[in-house]
Structure 1
């Protein structure tokens, strides 16, 4: 398995807050890797660091040979690392179709954009039904689908998903996780940040537990799902 993303001993500090402390993890090509942890563990900071929105004070962050610690956010997107942020952040007054089109703003090949739009609508038929509907009128689950679809139109090689299940009903969480698994099966590597450990571990290949900015446990997702420490802390056991 080829390592596509490598984070080694990364530290991020906001003022007096030490958000990441020597965080290390890898993501292999074709994997779904999950970062588990409670609020304040440093998961969203990690995603923002990978997207170039915050810079590590020390350590290294590389993706396919690209130094993410110094790269501009727009260059990171153009290279194929695309971030679906926590809270979805779709444009409420724009239609579903318009929101999806925005995902291709760095893509010059119009045929590629059209093809990816067709793939998104085929994968998520509900969006096809609502393509002319304003984003703000959609349910939370539908908005999450739009956010994922928008990223897919950009042609991600590595898709960063930050809390995609947040605020969603259990049945909708299941649907969103099935979509993520389908995206991965179609060839996209996924890094998934989730508080819903049960749902995430069902679709992930490997997982890391992040606590106070450091990875404290790691392993195959199936193994972590049986680990008594994970069961007690994250699976309600």
Structure 2
């Protein structure tokens, strides 16, 4: 589904991502772990066209999309759900979802997709006329993911979906991601909560200073002493 090879990203003199290579297979959840400043968000932004790489290649289903504009990449089925939710706080839940389908010209298909989101997330259906900014943090995160689903992703990039959420809500969000994946959408998940991410991921990569320092199956990473010490609280 996705193959990145020797990816480099610079911000002026800062080398934020260094010769990074990773892949996401069809039907996989792949976790991208690392501390703040490790290059995780920059990696997603380079994949989705928000940041232009300074080197390397990004292939989506074998097609070179390196450096293409974000809206062109989105139309190919790669959808980025950014850190911080970025919902439209003064618009209703329903209007936020409709904006996820801005590329769709078929209004019947757009309403089918929003109905599917409401079926998946009945809490959003209950609040469809409510302004997005009045939702709880967990509800806003679900709205952000729901809006991404309306776009129709075959590959979904999720950046820190558990940030700022209570543990019970984190579990609900992770269950939602697992359900989305089970329905056929591949996921590249950036997440500081390594424990939660590795419970649902198939594989993972650990980034440090923009470089991949460790990779493997979720089970192997969960049992690796380096991951336990750095990301799993020594548990």
Residue pair 2:28, 2:186 contacting (<8 A) in 1 also: yes
Aligned-partner Cα distance in 1 for 2:184–2:123? 22
Say which SS state the counterpart of residue 216 (structure 1) adopts: strand
Q: How many residues end up aligned between the 2 structures?
A: 234
Match of 1:55 among 27, 52, 68: 52
Residue pair 2:32, 2:191 contacting (<8 A) in 1 also: yes
Specify the alignment match of 2:88 in structure 1: 91
Q: Does 1:219 align with 2:216?
A: yes
Aligned-partner Cα distance in 1 for 2:218–2:142? 24
Deviation for aligned residue 1:59? 1.2
Specify the alignment match of 1:236 in structure 2: 233
Say which SS state the counterpart of residue 90 (structure 2) adopts: coil
Deviation for aligned residue 1:86? 0.2
Q: Does 1:200 align with 2:197?
A: yes
Q: What is the root-mean-square deviation in Å for CA atoms of aligned residues? A: 0.8
Q: Does 1:101 align with 2:101?
A: no
Q: Which moved more, 1:173-182 or 1:51-60?
A: 51-60
Could you list the runs of 5+ residues in structure 2 that have no partner in the other structure?
Answer: none
Aligned-partner Cα distance in 1 for 2:224–2:60? 30
Aligned-partner Cα distance in 2 for 1:203–1:162? 15
Q: Which moved more, 1:66-75 or 1:5-14?
A: 66-75
Q: Which moved more, 1:42-51 or 1:59-68?
A: 59-68
Q: Which runs of 4+ in 1 moved over 4 A?
A: none
Say which SS state the counterpart of residue 101 (structure 1) adopts: helix
Specify the alignment match of 2:72 in structure 1: 75
Specify the alignment match of 1:180 in structure 2: 177
Q: Which moved more, 1:64-73 or 1:150-159?
A: 64-73
Specify the alignment match of 1:111 in structure 2: 108
Say which SS state the counterpart of residue 71 (structure 1) adopts: coil
Q: TM-score, normalised by structure 1?
A: 0.97
Deviation for aligned residue 1:64? 1.3
Q: Does 1:122 align with 2:119?
A: yes
